């Protein structure tokens, strides 16, 4: 692509480094910003730089935070004896949005994935064990993706946690609410059959 | 969406103001930036702000430019007696990429669209007429979108230009190269039939 302006070329190049944004989309974004009042671009630019510059990670759970301790860990009404282990911030937000979890979190910062060269030492696992040894924790809920990597991570963590005599659970796997049985893959359906639940606890109280 | 951090919320909000980017995509971009080295975010932020701050528009053709006169208008090897009228910078880039145009441009900054409240006075039409009166111009090529608004704009401009005794042409409409006849809509096919061309001038010399 030939750009009439070096400034535009630079902005397009920076945008197109973002995931899912190619050169054409980047150009569309840049031309949109050019049509908007100048403040829009300043706000976007500053928000991005400030975010990256001032962001901190919670000392307790490694969730992103504006301060030393995140809002969830600092909330006295949260059950600190129930810890949900997740991969990333996005998963914290997903669980939070259900409004069905009142415990605290532990963000691993990834999952064990030998293919990508990510081992247990690259994750926030030691701090999790330290937390469990220091605090009174009754249950750990593993909320990791139902993939080979997620299962490997759960297996590794469970082996580490078992000596501490803490209950380990994992979010259930089964067919999606609203999903159609005939389109469900056989592995999911098999697990949904094996892990069937009594009718009384069947309905989600939303 | 509940965000664990005001900084992240701000950045997500700014990204999601861009066209085609919703909250979920914006969050994905922000989390990507968080995982990248800090310089990435600084480069993106600065490129956006610098672009909007320092960009200028060519005094002659209203194309975006890094200086007072854009590269195309400043190029002495360009034919200044041939002006291509386009809607926006994107169209300048599209025509430039064909490598089949050696004239100069005039960027209208939009097309006449009563539905969107855009009239002739909102476009760079007066400066086009002034350019035509001042310089020796032999042909104006209208390269506007083949829509109702584009046709209206061409009609309006042609009426303005006719008294100046300058040849007005428009890019041809017809079936796309590589397109299939059976899937071409009837209006396009009808125009391709009416505006049929002699076989000698048929092949595009690429």
Is A4's CB within 8 Å of B92's CB?
A: yes
Query: Which has the closest alpha carbon to B84: B68, B65, B60, B67?
Result: B60
Does the CB of A20 have a partner CB in chain B at under 8 Å? yes
Is B44's CB within 8 Å of A4's CB?
A: no
Q: Which of A15, A40, A51, A118 to mutate to test the interface with B (most CBs of B within 10 A)?
A: A51
Q: Which residues contact B133 (CB under 8 A, 6 or more apart)?
A: B164
Q: What is the pLDDT of residue A47?
A: 93
Taking the CA of residue A26 and the nearest CA in chain B, the distance in Å comes to 10
Distance CA B130, CA A19 (A): 45
Residues on chain A touching B84 (C-beta within 8 angstroms):
none
**What does pTM read for this prediction?**
0.73
Residues on chain A touching B6 (C-beta within 8 angstroms):
66
At residue A206, does pLDDT exceed 60?
no
Taking the CA of residue B18 and the nearest CA in chain A, the distance in Å comes to 6
Distance CA A153, CA A145 (A): 10
pLDDT per residue as tens, chain B (206 positions): 778 788 999 999 999 999 999 999 999 999 899 888 889 999 999 999 999 888 889 999 999 888 899 989 999 999 999 999 999 888 998 898 888 899 999 999 999 999 999 999 999 999 999 999 998 999 999 999 888 999 999 999 999 999 998 999 998 888 888 878 888 888 888 888 888 877 766 665 54
In angstroms, the Cα distances linking A67 to A57, A122, B4, B5 are: 8, 23, 11, 9
Distance CA A12, CA A31 (A): 9
Is A88's CB within 8 Å of B20's CB?
A: no
Taking the CA of residue B194 and the nearest CA in chain A, the distance in Å comes to 34
Is A52's CB within 8 Å of B34's CB?
A: yes
Does the CB of B48 have a partner CB in chain A at under 8 Å? yes
Does the CB of B30 have a partner CB in chain A at under 8 Å? yes
Q: Which residues contact B154 (CB under 8 A, 6 or more apart)?
A: B142, B144, B170
Q: Which of B3, B49, B69, B100 to mutate to test the interface with A (most CBs of A within 10 A)?
A: B49
Does the CB of B6 have a partner CB in chain A at under 8 Å? yes
ipTM associated with this complex: 0.75
Q: Which residues contact B146 (CB under 8 A, 6 or more apart)?
A: B173
- Measured at the CA of A15, the angle between CA B6 and CA A86, to 5 degrees, comes to 45
Instruction: Give A118's DSSP letter.
Output: B
CA trace torsion A70, A72, A77, A83 (10° rounding): -120
Q: What is the pLDDT of residue B103?
A: 94
Is A47's CB within 8 Å of B90's CB?
A: no
CB B60 within 8 A of CB B131: yes
Q: What is the pLDDT of residue B206?
A: 47
């Amino acid at each position: 692509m030939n750009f009439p302006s070096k400034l535009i070329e630079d902005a397009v190049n920076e945008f197109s480094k973002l995931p899912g944004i190619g050169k054409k989309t980047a150009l569309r974004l840049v031309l949109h910003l050019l049509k908007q009042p100048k403040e829009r671009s300043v706000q976007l630019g500053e928000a991005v730089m400030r975010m990256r510059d001032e962001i901190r990670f919670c000392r307790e759970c490694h969730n992103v935070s504006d301060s030393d301790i995140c809002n969830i860990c600092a909330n006295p009404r949260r059950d600190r004896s129930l810890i949900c282990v997740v991969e990333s911030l996005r998963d914290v937000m997903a669980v939070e949005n259900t409004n069905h979890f009142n415990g605290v979190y532990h963000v691993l910062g990834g999952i064990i994935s030998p293919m990508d060269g990510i081992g247990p030492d690259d994750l926030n696992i030691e701090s999790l064990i330290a937390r469990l040894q220091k605090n009174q924790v009754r249950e750990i809920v593993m909320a990791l993706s139902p993939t080979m990597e997620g299962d490997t991570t759960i297996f590794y963590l469970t082996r580490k946690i078992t000596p501490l005599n803490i209950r380990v659970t994992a979010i259930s796997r089964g067919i999606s609410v609203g999903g159609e049985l005939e389109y469900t893959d056989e592995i999911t359906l098999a697990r949904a059959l094996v892990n069937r639940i009594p009718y009384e606890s069947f309905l989600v109280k939303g």
